[in-house]
Homo-oligomer: A and B are copies of this chain.
Amino acid sequence: MSASVQDLETPALLVDLDRLERNLDRMAAYTAGHGLALRPHVKTHKSPWLAGQQLRRGAAGLTCATPREAEVMSAAGDNLLLAYPPIGTRKLERLMALPAPVRLTVALDSAAAVEPLAAAAALHDREVGVYIEVDVGMHRVGVCSTAEAIALARLVRARPPLAYAGIAFYPGHIRARGSEQAPLIEQLGAALAQLLAELDRTGLAPPVVSGGSTPTAWHAHEIDGLTEVRPGTYVFNDRATAELGACAWDDCALTVLATVVSTAVPGQAVVDAGTKALGREPLPGAPGQGFGVLLDRPEVTVARMSEEHGILDLHATVWKPEVGERVRIIPNHVCIAVHLADAVHGVRESAVETEWPVAARGR
């Protein structure tokens, strides 16, 4: 393909391929350099092509959240983690129907999740690795005590073809800026050390200790005992990640290309990317800061939105946009912008080099 960005209809997702490759290389080098297994979460890109790029750079496997993601990613890699409790007959059926070469691991936090999974695995004669999910402070999923983790690990051990494969956690609550992050990472490390010591004492030393979000991934080497990280956002990054200082602004690889469709109301311009393209995702900790920022004009944010309208606040800029003019918006939360799109366009400068579908976005 040799199309130009100017020929694309808007809204459209653009990925700067140079930035993407730099992001992929950097995380691969970081994890390799620290002897950490990288199992990137595909929820961010939902693309088997991009998963292939991660695996070619040394990723040990892939992380998925839904059966659909696992099905689509089985074309890219055969070591898949479902980092989500596999609850419900249909979901178990789909997991068991994954191609035979797939080595499947799931993360769970209840006996109620273990029993049907064990039955399904036995019925299909399929070994399934199990991570015990532990809550390290986000209070979303995960057992809240070492005793519960031990009980669950023992239950899994008693239910072949399930295999106790390790523990998993998601430190999504650690979103501090810069130096404020250090004590939180230290606290996480201390809690983890205590858990690991007790597991060790009970003969349940986990083969894998799996953690990590994009903001904490770069601190993974500071956490003793961690063996695997599962960042997703790092491939593209986004405004929230840059605002946190977990990437530089010019590491933001994905933008939403949009067209100014109205300047009728003074003090603002309306673009054709609203909640149905960007998602209504506030900046964590800064809900009044809008829903995205212009790549080339950081003084302009998407201040309000309707479903198909993004309203650019022009009060802080000398720029006078005209109807038909195009802008590139760095979304607050890139995983949602991708989930809302059919396809992503890979660009270098103004050339559209490639396009890939967001293949795993359905159910």
Contacts and interface: CB of A to CB of B under 8 A. Distances in A.
A307 B63 CA distance: 14
Copy number of this protein in the oligomer?
Answer: 2
Contacts of A9: 67, 88, 90-91, 94, 363
Nearest to A326: B88
Nearest to A339: B276
Nearest to A304: B140
A260 interface: yes
Using C-beta atoms within 8 Å of the partner chain, give the interface range for chain A.
Answer: 35 or more
Interface in A122-167: 133, 135, 139-144, 148
Contact of A11 (B272, B308, B363): B363
Contact of A336 (B65, B94, B116, B276): B276
Nearest to A287: B287
Contacts of A139: 265, 268
Interface stretch (A15-23, A106-114, A174-182, A245-253): A106-114
A323 B84 CA distance: 13
Interface in A266-299: 266, 268, 270, 272, 275-276, 279-282, 287
A266 B109 CA distance: 13
Given A9-B90, A307-B43, A265 B141 contact: yes
B264 A112 contact: no
B270 A306 contact: no
B140 A87 contact: no
A335 B110 CA distance: 34
Contacts of A266: 144
A110 B323 contact: yes
Given A323-B85, A323-B110, A265 B363 contact: no
| Most B C-beta atoms less than 10 A away, residue of A143, A262, A275, A340 | A262
Contact of A309 (B11, B135, B141, B281): B141
A154 to B, nearest CB: 16
Interface of A: 7-12, 43, 65-67, 84-85, 87-88, 90-91, 94, 109-110, 112-113, 116, 133, 135, 139-144, 148, 172, 259-266, 268, 270, 272, 275-276, 279-282, 287, 304, 306-309, 311, 322-324, 335-336, 339-342, 362-363
28 contacts: A7-B90, A9-B94, A43-B308, A65-B308, A66-B308, A84-B272, A84-B308, A85-B261, A87-B261, A88-B259, A110-B264, A110-B323, A113-B323, A139-B268, A140-B262, A140-B304, A140-B309, A141-B261, A141-B262, A141-B265, A141-B309, A275-B281, A279-B279, A280-B281, A280-B336, A307-B339, A340-B340, A341-B363
